[in-house]
Amino acid sequence: MSVQRVTAAVLIVGDEILSGRTQDINLSAIAKFLGVLGVEVAEARVVSDVLEDIVAAVNALRGRWDYVITTGGIGPTHDDITADGVAAAFGVKLYEHPEIIAMMEKRYAAGDLNAARRRMARVPDGGELIANPVQGPPGFMIGNVFVLAGVPSIMRGMLNDVGWRLKGGAVVLSRTVRVEKFGEGVIAAPLEATARAYPEMSMGSYPFFGPDGFGSNLVLRGRDEAELERAVGDLIAALEGAGITGATLVDA
Amino acid sequence: MSVQRVTAAVLIVGDEILSGRTQDINLSAIAKFLGVLGVEVAEARVVSDVLEDIVAAVNALRGRWDYVITTGGIGPTHDDITADGVAAAFGVKLYEHPEIIAMMEKRYAAGDLNAARRRMARVPDGGELIANPVQGPPGFMIGNVFVLAGVPSIMRGMLNDVGWRLKGGAVVLSRTVRVEKFGEGVIAAPLEATARAYPEMSMGSYPFFGPDGFGSNLVLRGRDEAELERAVGDLIAALEGAGITGATLVDA
């Protein structure tokens, strides 16, 4: 079977996320959307509305990972400079895309298509449009970088025109084994022993404190379903061997 | 007045954030906590539970920003490797901190202080403990890097022992001017004109779609309160000059 790993980075642009004023919810939405397509989000960065920071992040991420998805900074106001940053990262110029201008000419009366709105028609040389089914002008892609809006509902709409453009690898599947009434301090040894036996998989422990005290969700992730099922069985057996009873598979 | 800028980066460690399984809420909590102390979060990264990725991110961020706050990856299980990564970034070894071992010896019966739990007592050479008032062992700091738990309630508790250690700069103050029934396309020009007149401040537009149609929150941020108040007045006047009525200061 294929165990090809295809990766993506998410680049979130905006002072409002870094100031804590706005809670980002795009990273998890993108990660879930890409995950089922066999594209694993391997890194994320949040940078402020500063041109050189955007350029540096785009170049670092597009060189290292298969795809980069950016969100935010493509509106009409002066602080929206993601298109400028992406164009600079690729060393190309922005131009007014005729299709976007045509869309805007339909939408706005002649006098209302002002300089601010025309900013949103700018696409880097060599870029392709990413449809926006929700509201406003399209995003774009250039090379392995996809430039999407920051407003979550619009961003999610645009993802639909991103998915088919990605060449996914083997989907990462996951299983969660839930342990109640036992803490990580005793879970660690059987979990690690099982993880060592499956070096191709990743296993993590996410503790919680519930009404019955400590517990943990043990998440097993891998690209081979049969191996994943074997690992779940081995983990539950290893937990029982360590006196940890009641471990259950909570999603399949 | 002082306009000294003091910065921090947030480094979130954990596959569970990148997979979308867990929604991060630590970034915004840290940003707000540091903001009132005069420390501005200028960048954030999320990396997976991979040693070399943690090392690279710690070194990139601690070299560029005044402080680095990490969250996640300091539990007892094998996938918790943040301490290893931070020690490697500083080129020092981890050792079992006697104070943490003493705390654990009080808490656990002799046979229960196992290898997994002892992992949580490891601190890099030269590190100082960060108290954990909530539950579990302390975090630590080394150089300008603070290493905190990932569980939000525990992370927030630890921040209380971080704050007094930071030398803050001038606090960034913000004001929000809310515009209803007008979209960013017409707001952009008066906003940009005002922003140009106040180069020391940052002004951003965060649009919304409400029951009365489009609107936007215009956020002005700066370190000089008197200048900020002048800018708010100038912005409202500029909006009115462009025919945009009803702009109101929604927080002061």
pLDDT at A1: 42
SS (H, E, C) chain A: CCCCCCEEEEEEECHHHHCCCCCCCHHHHHHHHHHCCCCEEEEEEEECCCHHHHHHHHHHHHHHCCEEEEECCCCCCCCCCHHHHHHHHHCCCEEECHHHHHHHHHHCCHHHCCHHHHHCCEEECCCEEECCCCCCCCEEEECCEEEECCCHHHHHHHHHHHHCCCCCCCCCEEEEEEEECCCHHHHHHHHHHHHHHCCCCEEEEEEEEECCEEEEEEEEEECCHHHHHHHHHHHHHHHHHCCCCCCEEEEC
Q: What are phi and psi of A157, to 5 degrees?
A: -60, -40
The pLDDT of residue A252 is 52
Segment-wise mean pLDDT, segments of 10 residues, chain B, 252 residues: 81 96 97 96 97 98 98 95 98 97 93 93 98 94 98 96 95 95 94 96 89 90 95 98 95 62
Pairing of strands B7-13, B40-47: parallel
C-alpha distance from A97 to closest chain B C-alpha (Å)? 18
Amino acid found at B161: D
CA neighbor of A189 nearest in space, from A209, A218, A221, A212: A218
CA distances, A116 to each of A74, B145, B161, B235 (Å): 11, 41, 46, 17
How far is it, in rounded angstroms, from Cα B59 to Cα A116?
Answer: 39
| B18, B42, B221 ranked by CB distance to A41: nearest | B18
Burial class (CB in 10 A: 0-12, 13-18, 19+), A241: exposed
Q: What is the pLDDT of residues A7-48, one digit of tens each?
A: 999 999 999 999 999 999 999 999 999 999 999 999 999 999
Q: Which amino acid is at A171?
A: V
Distance (Å, rounded) from C-alpha B190 to C-alpha B177?
A: 13
CB contact under 8 A, A30 and B42: no
Judging contacts by C-beta atoms under 8 Å, the chain A residues touching residue B18 are: 27, 31, 40-44
Chain A residues lying within 8 Å of B186, measured CB to CB:
112, 114, 116
Q: Which of residues 51-110 of A touch B (CB under 8 A)?
A: 53, 75-79, 108
Query: Identity (one letter) of the amino acid at B82?
Result: T
* Exposure of B9 in the CB half-sphere (CA atoms within 13 A): 23
Write the pLDDT tens digit of every residue in B83-104.
Answer: 999 999 999 999 999 999 999 9
Tell me if chain A has a CB within 8 Å of the CB of B213: no
Q: Does this model's pTM top 0.90? A: yes
Q: How does DSSP classify residue B104?
A: H
Judge contact between B81 and B54, C-beta under 8 A: yes
Strand order in the sheet with A213-222: A202-210, A213-222, A173-180, A248-251
Report yes or no: B184 at the A interface, CB cutoff 8 Å. Answer: yes
Return phi, psi of residue B239, to 5°.
-60, -45
Rounded Cα gap, residues B97 and B105, in angstroms: 12
From residue A88, how far is each of A70, A85, A92, A146 by CA, in Å?
Answer: 15, 5, 6, 15
Average pLDDT over residues A162-167: 96
Whose tokens are 């540096």? That residue is A56
A204 has pLDDT over 80: yes
The pLDDT tens digits for A83-137 are 999 999 999 999 999 999 999 999 999 889 999 999 999 999 999 999 999 988 9
Residue whose entry in the numeric block shows the structure tokens 């050479």: B125
Looking up tokens 């990139």 gives: B60
Other residues' Cβ atoms within 10 Å of the Cβ of residue A15: 26
pLDDT at position B137, please? 94
pLDDT of residue B1: 43
**Arithmetic mean of pLDDT, A203-224:** 90
Q: Using the 8-state DSSP alphabet, how is residue B16 labeled?
A: H
With beta carbons less than 8 A apart as the criterion, state whether A4 and A173 touch.
no
- Read off the tokens for A198: 């499956």
Q: What is the pLDDT of residue B214?
A: 86
Q: Is A234 left (phi over 0), alpha (psi -120 to 50) or beta?
A: alpha
Q: Is B174 helix (H, G, I), strand (E, B) or coil?
A: strand
Higher-pLDDT residue of A63, B183:
A63
Contacts of residue B19, defined as CB under 8 A and 6 or more positions apart, other chains included, come to: A31, A35, A40, A41, A172, A174, A221
| Arithmetic mean of pLDDT over chain A | 95
Size (chain B), residues: 252
Judge contact between B221 and B244, C-beta under 8 A.
no
CB contact under 8 A, A43 and B41: no
Report residue B181 CA to chain centroid gap.
33
What end-to-end distance do the CA atoms of chain A give, in Å? Answer: 21
* pLDDT (tens digit per residue) in B129-159: 999 999 889 999 999 999 999 999 999 999 9
Q: Which domains does chain A have, with CATH numbers?
A: 7-163 (3.40.980.10), 173-251 (3.30.70.600)
**Mapping DSSP to helix (H, G, I), strand (E, B) and coil, where does residue B123 land?**
strand
Q: Considering chain A, what percentage of its residues have pLDDT values greater than 90? A: 91
Q: What is the C-alpha separation between A138 and A127, in angstroms, rounded? A: 12
Any B CB within 8 A of A189 CB: yes
pLDDT, position A2 = 47
| Burial readout A83-99 (b: 16 or more C-beta within 10 A, e: otherwise) | bbbbbbbbebebeebee
CB–CB contact B209 A115 (8 Å)? no
Q: What is the ipTM of this complex?
A: 0.93
Structural contact between residues B185 and B154, judged by C-beta atoms closer than 8 angstroms: no
Whole-angstrom CA distances from B165 to B63, B111, B128, B155 are 18, 37, 11, 16
Contact yes or no for B154/B135 (Cβ under 8 A): yes
